Amino acid sequence: MNKPLTWGTFCPVGSDSGELSYCVWATAWGPMGAVCGPEGLRRIVLPHYRFKDLGELLSFEHPEATKDEGPFAQLIDLTRGYFNARRVSFDQIPCELPDEDSFTGKVHRAARAIPYGRTRSYSALAAMIARPDAARAVATAMSKNPLPLVVPCHRVIYADGRPGGFSAPGGIEQKKRLLAMEAKAPAGSQ
């Protein structure tokens, strides 16, 4: 189990100064990257791009961010484990989520509760936030998720078992690959 983090221990650059940091690192599936701000993780990019291209993308999107691997040490460790088919939990990673009273904030928080190797339908997620009539709106909220893996939108599928959409780089094939890997990971592998 991961020990709880405060944002200052995860991203010390952002905690005091209000600055942004970004980092790109290698995983078994390829390079991935992230951006953190004063309140937590702000953006994750799953493996899809070449290392140099991903660094350029993040620095272009966040020109005020400083390249710094240090604040991301635990996230790097967790994602490397994840992409080596280890059951990891991102529960304790602080994130900049939409306001908890907003629809999207409720959806993202509910999605964070979906455990590794499990899925929920868009309609089940809607019911979890007491909006059983809002499955399509849940799908829209998931499509705008800037924090895949940490807010595991890949675990949200259609009620009939079809995978549904996936707006992260790699699209639906990436979603299927993530779900297949999670389904095969041995129990207790951490």
Q: What are the structural domain ranges in the chain?
A: 7-82, 103-184
Amino acid 56: pLDDT: 93
* Chain CA centroid to CA 137, Å: 19
DSSP 165: -
Q: The whole model's pTM is what?
A: 0.86
Amino acid 188: pLDDT: 59
Amino acid 63: pLDDT: 93
Mean pLDDT of the chain: 88
Amino acid 49: pLDDT: 87
Amino acid 14: pLDDT: 40
Amino acid 185: pLDDT: 75
**Closest C-alpha among 116, 126, 136, 139 to residue 187:** 116
Paired residues of 24 in beta bridges: 33
Which one from 11, 23, 36, 153 is the annotated catalytic residue? 153
Q: Which CATH class is domain 7-82?
A: alpha beta
CB contact at 8 A, 40 and 96 = yes
153 part of the active site:
yes
pLDDT under 50: residue ranges of the chain? 1-10, 12-16
Q: Which CATH architecture has domain 103-184?
A: Orthogonal Bundle (1.10)
Amino acid 111: pLDDT: 96
